[in-house]
A and B are shown apart, each in its own frame.
Chain A
Amino acid sequence: MIGLLTRDLTLAIRAGGGFGLSLAFFLIFTTLVPFGVGPQTAILSDIAPGILWLGALLACLLSLDRIFQLDWEDGTLDLVATSPVPLEGLAAMKALAHWITTGLPLVVISPALGVLLNLEPPAYPWLVASLALGTPALSAIGTFGAALTVGVKRGGLLVSLLVLPLYIPTLIFGALCVTRGAAGQDALTPLIMMGGITMGSLAILPFAAAAALRVNLR
């Protein structure tokens, strides 16, 4: 199973578009916001937590349809399904690879973008913590959506429609955590709630994704 992970990471580095695409989208999205909203720092500070979380969420969404589609097109998915690696393990490794190539760079870059949006100083640790804890859930939910739509021609839009409603709880608690952190209130409760969502997603969704893959491979 580690072989699957290292192969996916190698492919992400070699083929490009793996590490760079979501990160560039996140950068552009957040730098465009001040142009749209105007340069008033008070307004920007108010909306910064929501914008940063929304940007991270949309950046995650961008690469979801590639998770299984490329393997399905070149026949690798069929061959892995007949190998000793269980499909549950494949789904978990795919989600992990997606998080390393998408979620992790977003977590690392987010403080710099917080500066751009004039995020209140006390919110920075909560921003990093909430993204670090919340993006794995985005990857796990996204992998499940990708498994449901594997084999569908141009399934990217369908993945977005399936996955976005499932992203809502993570978005609410993630943005709330950063907002409360910025206001100096207790931000631990939403963080813990989001941690619960992440743990639940990681525990259940690889099995759901494997079941969806089995149906789609028939």
Chain B
Amino acid sequence: MGNGRRVTKAPPLRATGATRLPLGAALGYLRGMNLRVTDLACARGPAQILAGVSFAVAPGQALILRGANGAGKTTLLRTLAGLTPPLAGRIEADPEAIAYAAHADGLKAALSVAENLAFWARVFGRTTTQSAIEAFNLAPLLDRRAGEMSAGQKRRLSLARLLVTGRPVWCLDEPTVSLDAENVARFAAAVRAHLADGGSAVIATHIDLGLPDAETLDITPFVAKVIRADDPFAEGLA
């Protein structure tokens, strides 16, 4: 698994030596703990949203994505998660490393908390959900159906799914929406524990989670000027 996950045919925007990894980063990558993005261009539908995004996330490190509403944070995270193919550039990560959490909770209203977690554990080939239940204090809610819970409780269950996946790189899209202060602290503790275990996280959020040595990436400079990727007149604008 030494190669990048996706290499597209578009030429690199800058002639740097970024296609070759330094040894240290390559070793980090081989341990499945790292995410490296080089000159990435992302699209949503036919519209190019971002261009020239480059960053790397080391094991134990968190990257906070900032940017105005509609700047392209969700698009970037969906591209990282592999849901949308990149227009150009490369994403280097173990394909099995990334756990994605979207705006939508992905819960089944007719299933209980325990059944929802057990389902995701099965999908990700895991057997235990205990640590996830403890991290988000879900034990009192285990037999409650997801459809009967509040928005914040659903969010806690949705975030607990991340622990169930056991994957090292978390890509989180506004994870603290509808959480109260106590549960934001619980979530921040879960992220810190994940980082301490050598995991990584890319988090799009507007609040301060108080994570140690988290880097912040403002995506505003990368917002693409090209409106449509297939616009024949757009080439000169890029």
Contact = CB atoms under 8 A, between A and B. Distances in A.
Interface string B57-85: 00000000000000000000010011111
Interface residues of B, number: 32
B104 A83 contact: no
Interface string B107-125: 1111100010001101111
A36 interface: no
A78 B111 contact: no
Contacts of B124: 83-84
Given A11-B111, A84-B123, A218-B45, A74 B105 contact: yes
Contacts of A2: 122
Given A218-B45, A218-B84, A78 B106 contact: yes
Interface of A: 2-4, 7, 10-11, 14-15, 73-76, 78-85, 217-218
Given A10-B115, A78-B78, 17 more contacts: A3-B122, A7-B108, A11-B108, A11-B111, A14-B111, A15-B110, A75-B102, A76-B106, A78-B106, A79-B101, A79-B102, A81-B83, A83-B120, A83-B124, A84-B96, A218-B44, A218-B84
A82 B82 contact: yes
- Nearest 8 Cβ contacts at the A-B interface: A75-B104, A3-B122, A75-B106, A14-B110, A79-B106, A82-B100, A76-B106, A83-B123
B99 interface: yes
Contacts of B81: 78, 82
B101 to A, nearest CB: 8
Contact of B123 (A3, A73, A75, A217): A3
Contacts of B98: 82
A80 B161 CA distance: 12
Contacts of A78: 78, 81, 83, 100, 102, 104, 106
B31 interface: no
Contacts of B110: 10-11, 14-15
B93 to A, nearest CB: 12
B225 interface: no
Contacts of A15: 110
B103 interface: yes
Contacts of B109: 74
B228 to A, nearest CB: 15
Contacts of A73: 104
